[in-house]
Structure 1
């Protein structure tokens, strides 16, 4: 065998498997829709529309993160919208009525969101029922309690410095909120891939019985994930309050229902399995990007709001089908 042949065989093979990844697919599909809307309607490419689109994207991605951290355990958080609005209303009260500094008011709101989310986790563990049932009940409980305590009044005199945070932009048309959401995404990626707690959560989500035998505190990880989900929902609520210039009880729809579709679409499209154990922070952000581009582009084409929602519902059904296919393929790989 010649020296040249040995050198050739010693060279490491470059893997191109990443080209078939879910994230790359989302980038290509999103780019195709951007190109289509860019040419189909002049309003899509305007600086104002790009600014509005990126502001919506930042909040929708944060909502997706809130659901993602519960889905990884095989659970659900239907109360994300109710928690986010309740925490944002508390933050609004702290800023407008109590006169607390913005950072302190924000911390209070985030802690309140984590507390409400943690309560969902505790109830799920103690009652030994699926979090779907628990969060379906607390969705009404949290929202109703917030309406009673605030008398459905909005806090519309928030500090100008708080409202101005949502008006920050870079490159002339990109909302500064996007960078904050990306920062939170990097922290979540680090949590799940470079900490013991993150690895325990992934293990508990993939196989709870095996995780228990390995000494993983499965119940504790469920509570932590729900608390983290509540904190992220509170962040989304604060961002929405800053964008609206007020903390409004109905800013996430009745019972927070308006958050449910983006909450599911972003992580499921991004590759987070409904059965738990697999997560993709980057995929969730890209999934939210695709949904935001589609919604914005269709509205620019003057498609009715009802048809936009119907179209997103169809996408969710397709995403669930892809989720089942991914779960099947992953299970086959584990068996091998």
Structure 2
């Protein structure tokens, strides 16, 4: 009995896949060129000062989006990442300003707080079976209330050492320090997701938890660790938020949530089609940042940015769903 020789992939399909993977990258480059050439925005948009500010401002959003990648890889939306970052910022700021904790210890406290919140969420969702939407949104609301109750709506700014604020405002060899730190964390997250057994298991759980369990993987433990990683990275983002702003505010973090979710969903339609990835998040963050900056410089009304963020989130949801359908294996036809 002879087996049929597999047909080679058609060039048209290969090109179409390549275009799909890098379409958003090309769009980002096109937008940069457009806003750099437009008379209304070109001079300011292409200036070194604006480019530096645009890049530096993406450090915290990048980490919040990367934090959301881990739960989404496991099949869950985490609506708490913004609130965790805001709370970690307040924890670190209060430790420095109100309790005179040494800087290294205060940073550890802020990150540890995020880890604890992530662990609690992971236990609730993976082991207690609580609905993830209710759990993450409830924790986000709870943290927002606690932040406001503690700060009284006031900013914590006194006693923040310059060693920390310098990370948020100064450069290393011309590169903003905040983006260097965020980039290193994102690089570690990429390595964990793409080069380790845990990362492969995480994507497998998100794709089909039951089948992964039958293969001998501890699904609940993997889901727990996804939220632990998310909380830890969001905690680092909170420390960078404090360094960037020079103080902690009563912001509940919800304004940081939606751009992060948009970036994570857009990451599923770029480079690694059908699943969230750190490189995809980087491209999506740049897409959002360049578009918002360019529209602002062109002189569009302030409400346009909100409309763009909302529309981008809806489009990201639609395309992410389409990408998952496209990447799903096609059922084989039964043969006689």
Shift of 1:115: 0.6
Cα distance in 2 for partners of 1:126, 1:247 equals 33
Shift of 1:204: 1.0
Q: Pairwise mapping of residues 163-312 of structure 1 onto structure 2 (< 5 A)?
A: 163-169=165-171, 172=174, 174-250=175-251, 255-271=252-268, 278-312=275-309
> Hey, what's the Cα distance between the residues in 1 that align with 2:163 and 2:17?
44
2:161 to 159, 181, 184: 159
- Any idea what the Cα deviations from partners look like across 1:160-215, whole Å, max 9, x if unmatched? 1110111222564x422222222112111111122222222111111100111111
CA distance change for structure 1 residues 222 and 26 in 2, over 3 Å: closer, same or farther? same
Residue 32 of structure 2 corresponds to residue 30 of structure 1: no
Unaligned runs of 5+ in 2: 1-10
Q: 3-state SS of the aligned residue for 1:216?
A: coil
Preserved CA contact (<8 Å) 1:110 1:234:
yes
Shift of 1:246: 0.6
Contact 1:202 1:277 (C-alpha < 8 Å) held by counterparts? no
Residue-pair matches, total: 316
Structure 2: distance between partners of 1:219 and 1:284: 26
Partner of 1:82: 83
Aligned to 1:5: none
**Displaced runs of 4+ in structure 1, greater than 3 A?**
15-19, 149-153, 332-336
Please provide the CA RMSD for this pair.
2.4
Partners of 1:329 and 1:66 in 2: CA distance: 25
- Whether 1:53 aligns to 2:58 is no
Q: Distance in 1 between matches of 2:238 and 2:332?
A: 42
Contact 1:272 1:280 in 2 (8 A): no
CA distance change for structure 1 residues 197 and 154 in 2, over 3 Å: closer, same or farther? same
Q: 1:19 to 1:56 in 2, by over 3 A?
A: farther
Query: For the structure 1 residues 33 and 211, does the alpha-carbon distance in structure 2 shift closer, same or farther, using more than 3 Å as the test?
Result: same
On the 8 A contact 1:23/1:283 being kept in 2, the answer is: no
Relative to 1, partners in 2 of residues 1:224 and 1:22: Cα closer, same or farther, differing over 3 Å? farther
> 2:232, 2:70 → 1: CA distance?
11
Check the 8 A contact 1:60/1:263 in 2, yes or no.
Answer: yes
Return the TM-score normalized by structure 1: 0.87
* TM-superposed deviation, 1:110: 0.6
Change in 2 beyond 3 A, CA 1:312/1:151 = closer
Deviations 1:130-161 (A, max 9, x none): 31111111111112123223433322021011
Distance 2:222 2:19 in 1: 28
Correspondence 1:103-122 to 2 at 5 A: 103-122=104-123
Q: TM-score, normalised by structure 2?
A: 0.87
Q: 1:17 to 1:277 in 2, by over 3 A?
A: closer
Deviations 1:232-274 (A, max 9, x none): 1122222121111111122xxxx3210122111111111179x
Pairing partner for 2:37 from 36, 39, 44: 39
Greater CA drift, 49-58 or 118-127? 118-127
Q: 1:18 to 1:193 in 2, by over 3 A?
A: farther
